[in-house]
Structure 1
Amino acid sequence: MTFSEITDLLMAQFGPEIIQQTNTNNPQPFLVVQTSALAEMGQFLHNDERLFFDFLACMTGIDNGPQANTMEVVYNLTSIPYEHNLTLKVVVPRNAEGEPLPAVPTVNHIWRTADWHEREIYDLVGIRFDGHPDLRRILLPTDWQGHPLRKDYQDMETYHGVKVK
């Protein structure tokens, strides 16, 4: 199934919940989806027998920096039996220091591979996944301050008396 055919199916099912699509001539076209529709759309992509996106190949968290004031989560989906792929993206407002982390609904209940991907994005980028069953740091110690893949992250001078820089 082509990107255009998949997009048409999603537009028929969700309409305005798909807020932007890339040029279909792009080597890797993607759809930008409203955060509120992500879990429902993921369930549809997984369960609809015409699509059957049974594999979440990768999830990536992106900090677009303080100037853009947005963050993104990119989902690379694959249907192994049908051999088609789809990339979805959600964009959330970036939080200022002291404000709650940006939040995206979990897709862990749809694709189990999301478990560690979501924990890694939470740990390193600072995006919370609402509904995740065990959202805690996965690579850094539990008392680590900040999220190292943020554009404005400041390295600590020391950590428990050990010079870090």
Structure 2
Amino acid sequence: AHAIETRLELYGEKPVAELLALLTGEEALGWLNGKLEQLPLERWLEQAENRPVRSLIELWKASVLGFIPVLTERTLRLIAKGIPAAMQAVDLPGLVEEQVSRFPIERLEEVILSVSGKEFRAITWLGVVLGGIIGLLQSLLLLLGGVG
């Protein structure tokens, strides 16, 4: 462990190119170019071009399908843990109270009357109709009772 720390102190501030040159004995860029030329990149690209997409997906399909439920469960658990803190941070009751207190009373009255105006008219007409029906029934009962 001490030897590693000593090496890190010795080489820790040096650029990667200089360290690579020390290790390989040649210039870093030239050494890397030589290694890259040895790779069969053209053959790999030709194989990749002719490969069906399905074969690439099949390699990862099982692991992805197995990981989705775990990821979903963890995400939902994280969200569930964060909801109380978010609700406390938002302070919804205080926010609603503040917005209501800032809302002009005149505008609130207009909104209530515009919404309830139709209902009040409907209730009035319903009262008229019901009163008329009840009045007719009473009149009929009186006429029938008075005759007998």
Regarding TM over 0.5, the answer is no
Query: Which TM-score band applies after superposition, normalised by the shorter structure?
Result: under 0.3
TM-score for both structures, normalised by structure 2 = 0.21
- Determine which structure has the larger strand proportion and give its number: 1
> Which structure ranks higher in relative contact order (CA pairs < 8 Å, sequence separation ≥ 6)?
1
